[in-house]
Structure 1
Amino acid sequence: MSKPLIGVTTYLDQARWGVWEMPAALLPAQYPRLVQASGGLATMLPPDEPSAAASVVARLDGLVIAGGADVEPVRYGAEPDPRTGPPARARDTWELALIDAALASGTPVLGICRGMQLLNVALGGTLVQHLDGHVESVGVIGRHAVKPVPGTRYATLVPELTTVPTYHHQAVDRLGRGLSPSAYAEDGTVEAIELPDPVWALGVQWHPEMGEDLRVMQGLVAAAST
């Protein structure tokens, strides 16, 4: 049986390697490693024209919206908070188009950190622009406990209280259309969201690629295999 092809969105940033420094489509190696360890094949999806999204998604078995910059507040009808980071407009436009195409086609989709927030925004939800206590320090992945909501897809994958790798200062506020919370932090922050069957769409606020627990990605790969 062939392995499912999982597309993972990328950063678009200035980078340096060898003797070069120039704009680059970037993806931390932990993302493809997590896909590979979970039984999938990984391919990178750098920002492109939104009109290409449906064609790209049609070639995939599953989609991962990776972490990264804050979603631009105009996307959910808000003024930017002074603590909201610079926008990544090319990513916002491209990834929203990919999410729309995946949901329309029934392609399984997993949103990670920013990806979860963008899934919520794609369905008309809003975000809290600044949240204290979920970043340990700049550039350092922290950990905190996450409790699943019984009966949800996430709880089927991870039924117990777990400690997850985390690095975010924004979070879901008003849930988008059809979305349900499927995990919470101890302070009440929504840590996972999902759409009901038959659509396989899950967002997690933490960074599974920075830990050892494969179950969330394995859930995506299993859905993509069908």
Structure 2
Amino acid sequence: MQPIIGIGTNHLIRPSDHFDDNYVDYTQKNYVAAVTAAGALPVLLPIGDPTLADTYIGHVDALLLTGGQDVSPRLYGEDPLPQNGLNDWQRDQFESALIKGAVAAHKPILGICRGLQIINATLGGTNFQDLATQVNTPIGHNQYPTAWGTPTQKIMTTPDSLLNEIWGDTGFVNTFHHQAVATPAPGLTVTATASDGVVEAMEDSRRKIIAVQFHPEMMAETNPKAAKLFAAFIARI
């Protein structure tokens, strides 16, 4: 049987031109395509009551957490900075419950962009709310309008890590974020950074967690290394 990957979704929380106030749950097609290409069956998990999280986890073999809004600093005990963007407290609470449920059930987790940040905050770490003001980095961490799937930013990986196995000591990835990990949660090891020191990946082999700040789902169709990351995640089931 194909392994089943639960993909955490996003949802509209404000009226839009297309849907008005007919709110929807959704995820980008690239996540579904990357999971399918890696030989697994994607199942979308609509945002709901956190008490449902364990039931959802019981029906999947692994959990994928996707990009989206800024993670609320409430999760790590901070007030929002003026540069903090749109928060979605319902999504934060639901995904935190999914993470805790997957860890308790010993099921693999892959976090992408916001997914890395929500994993870190849920498990006891802190995040930078805005790199430009808190880190004053000289590197652009948002490549838009360059094509989503184009690798633009250099990363350095640590030895004996999955990121090192796939990308080697250095490599290039795409980048679309203004928040990032500040203090890693206990048990999470930083396994890749940008040249300015910003965390680009963390891993925890004991809890089967892989989390990256970049977007491999956008590169997976044309980039063998990004595709290999999804295969490695599924292989941990």
Return the TM-score normalized by structure 1: 0.91
| Aligned partners of 1:15 and 1:24 also within 8 Å | no
Mapped to 2, the partners of 1:169 and 1:117 lie a distance apart of 11
- In the TM superposition, residue 155 of structure 1 has moved relative to its aligned partner by 2.1
Provide the residue aligned with 1:191 in structure 2: 200
Deviation of 1:16 (Å): 6.3
State the SS of the aligned residue for 1:163.
strand
Separation in structure 2 between the aligned mates of residue 138 and residue 94 of structure 1, nearest angstrom: 31
Structure-2 change in CA distance of 1:160 and 1:117 (3 Å): same
CA RMSD of aligned residues (A): 1.8
Q: Distance in 1 between matches of 2:37 and 2:163?
A: 19
Query: What secondary structure sits across from 1:117 in the alignment?
Result: helix
Counterpart residue number, 2:175: 166
Gaps of 5+ in 2: 133-139
CA-CA distance at 1:222 after TM superposition: 1.1
1:15 CA displacement? 5.4
- Structure 1 segment 39-78 matched on structure 2, within 5 A: 39-78=39-78
Q: Encode CA deviations 1:57-104: one digit per residue, 9 max, x unaligned.
A: 111111001000000111111110111112111110100000000111
Q: What does 1:68-217 align with in structure 2 at a 5 Å threshold?
A: 68-132=68-132, 133-137=140-144, 141=148, 143-197=152-206, 199-211=207-219, 212=223, 213-217=226-230
Q: Could you give the per-residue CA deviations for residues 106-155 of structure 1, whole angstroms, max 9, x where no partner exists?
A: 10000000000011111110001111420134796472111211112332
Shift in Å, 1:156: 2.9
Displacement of 1:160: 4.3
Q: Cα gap change, 1:78/1:138 in structure 2, threshold over 3 Å: closer, same or farther?
A: farther
Q: Tell me how far apart the structure 1 counterparts of residues 59 and 166 of structure 2 sit (CA, whole Å).
A: 26
In 2 relative to 1, CA 126–138 (structure 1 residues): closer, same or farther, beyond 3 Å?
Answer: farther
- The structure 1 segments of at least 4 consecutive aligned residues displaced by more than 3 Å after TM superposition are 14-17, 137-142
- What is the identity, as a one-letter code, of the residue corresponding to 1:5? I
In structure 2, the CA distance between the partners of 1:125 and 1:84, relative to structure 1 (3 Å rule), is: same
Instruction: Give the structure 2 partner of residue 12 of structure 1.
Output: 11
Q: d(CA) in 1 for partners of 2:163 and 2:105?
A: 22
Q: Is the 8 A contact 2:159 2:169 kept in 1?
A: no
Residue 33 of structure 2 corresponds to 33
Query: TM-score normalised to the size of structure 2?
Result: 0.87
Contact (CA 8 Å) 1:66, 1:115: kept in 2 or not?
yes
Identity %: 34
Paired positions, count: 220
2-structure distance, mates of 1:222, 1:16: 41
C-alpha displacement of 1:49: 1.1
